[in-house]
Chains A and B, each alone.
Chain A
Amino acid sequence: MKKRLLTVLSFILLSAVIITGCGLNRDAEGNTTAKRVTLINVSYDPTRELYEAYNSYFEKKWKKETGQTVEVIQSHGGSGKQALEVANGLKADVVTLALAADTNSVARSGLIASDWQSRLPDNSCPYYSTIVLLVRKGNPKNIKDWDDLTRSDVSVVTPNPKTSGGARWNYLAAYAYALKKYDNDESFAIEFMRKLYRNVSVLDSGARASTTSFTENGQGDVLICWENEAYLTLQNDGKDYELIYPSVSIKAETPVSVVDSVVKSHGTRKVAEAYLKDLYEKEAQEICAKNYYRPSDTAVLKEHSKQFPTDLEMVTIDDFGGWDKVTKKHFADGGIFDQIYE
């Protein structure tokens, strides 16, 4: 009897030591000093190829600098859905989402400090993109600009702005054109959008799903998509499609941030911050450009000006008054999108 009690006691003691032992491998700032560390990067759909390349670059670099082995685990999906999962308890050390509004929604759930976007240069955007049009080879429907998307003989593929970050950029790029065309008359611009969305044949939940609908399933005459996604499609089957730059587009800022409460509990703040900061380095900027993201470093961008025409007129989200205002006006329940798409 006594012996059994002793075993139980020693077991409890042992597990207590193990549990607290985990907490002991920390330096003065609470960073883990373990030999191996994992970093979870929750991102949106089209960044798969970018982070595959960047992660192996960073893992090598970090090993060389600190001796610590870091393994970056990726999760990809629709930006809004990913933000919701992080807010619901997905333990992401860093979030690299498609738009600041989604990072803001994570911040509002109390996981990220509210000043997150000012912690890194360029609004915390080491890379950005823009919105372009992808048409079938030879451009059979003669699509040149946003105007052509409202023609009754054109069928459009774009994801649902309620669930997809990319879709919101698509919507806003077209809206920017409409405002310009009608001299900032909103009622005309909304009518333009109504016509455009009447032509949408497939409204997928995410950007990647839309690309698949357009390419693999042959839906629609034109795909509204990220510039990087368009280039990736051209890289895979360049002979089947053509990229069209519209006269006006939007600077699609895709900010990154550490998730404060998660890096605190994982003890990964140092490595997570380095992971994001190194994205601004020249070599990483080259990786961004190679994966068709516009690098924030203007020198690197210029080197790739053949790929990224710099004369494209781009509005920014600030021209619309920021994400909070835009979300409420256009994408909230009963907002303009709900009114035009029934």
Chain B
Amino acid sequence: MEQKKNDGILKWVLIIIAAFFLFIMVIMPLGMVVAGSFAMGFKYYIASITDKYTLKALSLTLRATIASVICTSVFGLMAAWAVTRYSFPGKKIIKSIIDIPVTISPVICGMIFLLLFGRQGFIYPLLDKVGIDVIFAVPGIIIVTVFVTLPMVFREIVPVLEARGTEEEEAAAMMGASGWTIFTKITFPSIKWPFIYGMILSASRAMGEFGAVSVISGHLRGLTNTLPLHVEILFNEFNTTEAFAVASILVMLSIALLILRLVLQYVSKRKISRMQKATA
């Protein structure tokens, strides 16, 4: 009895500490964003988020995000398949190199591409002749965003594929299933949820990316400004209310992704428990 009482106190102390911490570190700043964005009224808020430059920044952010999700999905699937289903020399090295984009500082990522595609880089004269702008232009923004999100899907599905092993696929192959059938009927269903989870992770990272994009953007208003860069510019212009309003768009996008994640988790859990019931 004594022991149990102590447990109860400890439990509540821990919960209160965690909730307090969450309140200070997450709820309060988010509340500030909402309060800040409505500081000058609802009409001003609507005017800020429908501003020409805000919409252009939103469109660029969405384009970069979509490109990132597509690239990380396609690349992640192929690379994960390669490293878990085949053995070849240098496999371990490849597996660690793939992680570089997420472990390296984003500013360094930006600088790498600046040196590669910038006027000092050896590719620049070629690009200049053809008339393609990469650096300080939209392609550059998309390239660095893709770069920083590249391993997201890969990192999610490799552990699952490794844990599953290859027995089921081998059995299917022996029974005469084609490669495509094996992939769609056996491999993909097992990695579906981590795959989608990886996509969501890469989308949220791509939307919020600041450092790498900041180096390579040139901050051309209405052309190469993403939403996070636009927020910084508005803040520097002393337009604090507008900056918060635009920031609230990013918050809403993140919350939408969070809800999507929760729904997917719920659906996948139900599916798994149903499957377990069926086998039992």
Contact of A75 among B118, B131, B220 (CB under 8 A): B220
Name the residue on B nearest A40 (C-beta).
B220
> Distance (Å) between the CB of B241 and the closest chain A CB?
12
> Distance (Å) between the CB of B46 and the closest chain A CB?
21
Residue contact B119 to A89, C-beta cutoff 8 Å: yes
Known: A75-B218, A85-B136, A88-B114. A236 touches B119 (CB 8 A): no
Known: A90-B136, A91-B136. A85 touches B238 (CB 8 A): no
> Distance (Å) between the CB of A59 and the closest chain B CB?
13
Residue contact B219 to A77, C-beta cutoff 8 Å: yes
> Distance (Å) between the CB of A174 and the closest chain B CB?
25
Question: Any chain B CB within 8 A of the CB of A304?
Answer: no
- Using a Cβ–Cβ cut-off of 8 Å, how many residues does chain A contribute to the interface with B? 24
> Distance (Å) between the CB of B40 and the closest chain A CB?
14
Interface hub of A40, A49, A90 (most chain B Cβ within 10 A): A90
> Distance (Å) between the CB of A184 and the closest chain B CB?
39
What A residues does B220 contact at CB under 8 A? 40, 73-75, 90
A-B contact count (CB 8 A): 49
Mask for A73-92, Cβ within 8 A of B = 1, else 0? 11111000000010111110
Known: A85-B136, A88-B120. A75 touches B237 (CB 8 A): no
Known: A48-B237, A74-B221, A85-B218. A91 touches B133 (CB 8 A): yes
Question: Any chain A CB within 8 A of the CB of B60?
Answer: no
Question: Any chain A CB within 8 A of the CB of B67?
Answer: no
Contact of B219 among A22, A75, A209 (CB under 8 A): A75
Determine the distance from Cα of A209 to Cα of B233 in the docked complex, in whole angstroms.
11
> Distance (Å) between the CB of B267 and the closest chain A CB?
44
Determine the distance from Cα of A74 to Cα of B237 in the docked complex, in whole angstroms.
13
> Distance (Å) between the CB of A340 and the closest chain B CB?
29
> Distance (Å) between the CB of A96 and the closest chain B CB?
14
What A residues does B233 contact at CB under 8 A? 76
Residue contact A88 to B119, C-beta cutoff 8 Å: yes
Residue contact A73 to B222, C-beta cutoff 8 Å: yes
Residue contact A75 to B221, C-beta cutoff 8 Å: yes
Residue contact A73 to B136, C-beta cutoff 8 Å: no
Question: Any chain A CB within 8 A of the CB of B83?
Answer: no
Question: Any chain A CB within 8 A of the CB of B112?
Answer: no
> Distance (Å) between the CB of B115 and the closest chain A CB?
9
Determine the distance from Cα of A261 to Cα of B159 in the docked complex, in whole angstroms.
52
Question: Any chain B CB within 8 A of the CB of A109?
Answer: yes
Question: Any chain A CB within 8 A of the CB of B124?
Answer: yes
Determine the distance from Cα of A90 to Cα of B119 in the docked complex, in whole angstroms.
9
Name the residue on A nearest B221 (C-beta).
A74
Q: Name B232-251 residues within 8 Å CB distance of A.
A: 233, 236-238
Question: Any chain B CB within 8 A of the CB of A208?
Answer: yes
Residue contact B119 to A208, C-beta cutoff 8 Å: no
Residue contact A88 to B135, C-beta cutoff 8 Å: yes
Question: Any chain B CB within 8 A of the CB of A221?
Answer: no
What B residues does A90 contact at CB under 8 A? 135-136, 218, 220
Question: Any chain B CB within 8 A of the CB of A114?
Answer: no
Residue contact A73 to B119, C-beta cutoff 8 Å: no
Question: Any chain B CB within 8 A of the CB of A286?
Answer: no
Mask for A232-262, Cβ within 8 A of B = 1, else 0? 1000100000000000000000000000000
Question: Any chain A CB within 8 A of the CB of B253?
Answer: no
Question: Any chain A CB within 8 A of the CB of B223?
Answer: yes
Mask for A38-80, Cβ within 8 A of B = 1, else 0? 0010100100110000000000000000000000011111000
What A residues does B118 contact at CB under 8 A? 88-89
Interface hub of B135, B220, B222, B237 (most chain A Cβ within 10 A): B220
Determine the distance from Cα of A48 to Cα of B114 in the docked complex, in whole angstroms.
25
Q: Apart from A87-B119, A89-B124, what 4 extra A-B contacts exist at CB < 8 Å?
A: A22-B131, A76-B219, A89-B118, A90-B220
- 22 A-B pairs whose Cβ atoms sit less than 8 Å apart in the complex: A22-B131, A40-B220, A42-B218, A45-B236, A73-B220, A73-B221, A74-B220, A74-B221, A75-B219, A76-B233, A76-B236, A77-B219, A88-B118, A88-B119, A89-B119, A89-B124, A89-B136, A90-B136, A90-B218, A90-B220, A91-B136, A232-B238
A residues with a Cβ closer than 8 A to B are 19, 22, 40, 42, 45, 48-49, 73-77, 85, 87-91, 109, 208-209, 212, 232, 236
